[in-house]
Amino acid sequence: MNKWFSKMVKTTIAASTLGMAAVGTAESVDAQINTSVVDEAWGKPTFVYGGGLSEAQISETADLFGIDDRANVEEMPATGEDLQTYLGYGSGSTSSMISSVLVQREGEGEGVEVMVETPENITKITEEQYMNAAITAGVEDATIMVGSIRPVTGESALTGVYKAFDANGETLEKERMEVAQQELETTSDISEELDEEQSVQLDQAMVDIKRELAELKEQVGELATREDIERIINEALEKNSLQNIVSQEQVNQLVILFENYQQTSAIDSQAVKAQLENLAGDLQDRLGAAWQSAEESGLTDRIAQFFSELWQTLVGLFN
């Protein structure tokens, strides 16, 4: 019973505190892209809005990102044609393109930071999933805001990020963008069955897998075999306490993903390695801060007391 009890306490705390941590993060990063001045390192921030929006909806979206004066940003639509160009799929229709992004290039070593400004309207993709996939695609040292005026899955938002980079003279590799989209869809599908803490652990497992595949390639000079990939995936899942949660079918999906991943230049990229280091730090900070916040607030003690009293009540009923 002690193991069960401990797991219940930890899960309850994680669900509560990670939710609070996410709110705190959203509040603290609102001003990270400053549209009141022009950053001379990359020029104006780039606002790529959903091409299916009306002019009034574009203005509403700009307000969501805190853009007081649209003259201070470069702006352009994300179209159905862009979806086909950057992600390799879609009907080419622009009417369903609703999600939008605001992108600012940052100094070397800053890493990739993603803020979902409207989490109630981006229903499927988390900030960490966007970050992981963007790094796979080749995005470096950028602050990205994602938002939508109405509920969307959010799977096409990276189209706007790639278009922003392209518009600023930094074209990303098509193969990497397509694998990044496969990664985004695979991890978001798996995460639908996970709680918030487990979702963050999955993001960390993805980082671990990428690191291990790169290290293996560096050591032996060859790509991992399918057996190697499955072993690395299972080890990463176990390291992050997901070995009994992620199904074999989902492991098979991850194997296919990473077979494709290691065929891209991401496997040898020192830039990817550096960006993953930053992301890993963010993930550990999020998990650590959530637990510490719970302990400092006394929430851990209150939840422990609640389950203790509940257990005593159940024992009393059976007796």
pLDDT digits over 31-71, tens only?
A: 479 888 777 766 899 999 999 999 999 999 999 999 989 99
Listed in order, strand segments (DSSP E) in 23-105 are 46-50, 74-78, 100-105
Q: Clarify whether residues 132 and 249 are in a common domain.
A: no
Can you give the residue range of the structural domain that contains 56? 11-172
Residue 47 in domain: yes
Q: Clarify whether residues 222 and 113 are in a common domain.
A: no
Q: Clarify whether residues 168 and 24 are in a common domain.
A: yes
- Final residue of a structural domain among 118, 149, 172: 172
Least confident of 14-23, 63-72, 114-123, 249-258: 14-23
Report the 10 Å Cβ neighbour count for 226.
11
Q: Clarify whether residues 99 and 151 are in a common domain.
A: yes
Confidence class of residue 311 from pLDDT cuts 50, 70 and 90?
low
Confidence class of residue 22 from pLDDT cuts 50, 70 and 90?
very low
Confidence class of residue 91 from pLDDT cuts 50, 70 and 90?
confident
pLDDT at 110 over 60: yes
Q: Report whether 283 contacts 236 (CB < 8 A).
A: no
pLDDT at 135 over 90: yes
Burial zone of 199 (CB within 10 Å; 0-12 exposed, 13-18 middle, 19+ buried): buried
Tens of pLDDT, residue by residue over 267-291, are: 999 999 999 998 998 888 876 654 4
Residue listed under structure tokens 């998990």: 287
Q: Clarify whether residues 37 and 120 are in a common domain.
A: yes
The mean pLDDT of the chain is 85
**Secondary structure of 159-187 as H, E, C letters:** HHHHHHHHHCCCCCCHHHHHHHHHHHHHH
State how many domains the chain has: 2
Q: Clarify whether residues 86 and 228 are in a common domain.
A: no
Residues 6+ apart with CB under 8 A from 304: 9
Residue 314 in domain: no
Q: Clarify whether residues 146 and 126 are in a common domain.
A: yes
Residue 311 in domain: no
Q: Clarify whether residues 27 and 167 are in a common domain.
A: yes
Q: Clarify whether residues 57 and 131 are in a common domain.
A: yes
Q: Clarify whether residues 126 and 26 are in a common domain.
A: yes
The residue among 249, 253, 254, 224 whose CA lies nearest residue 236 is 254
The residue among 186, 181, 155 whose CA lies nearest residue 254 is 186
- Final residue of a structural domain among 138, 172, 206: 172
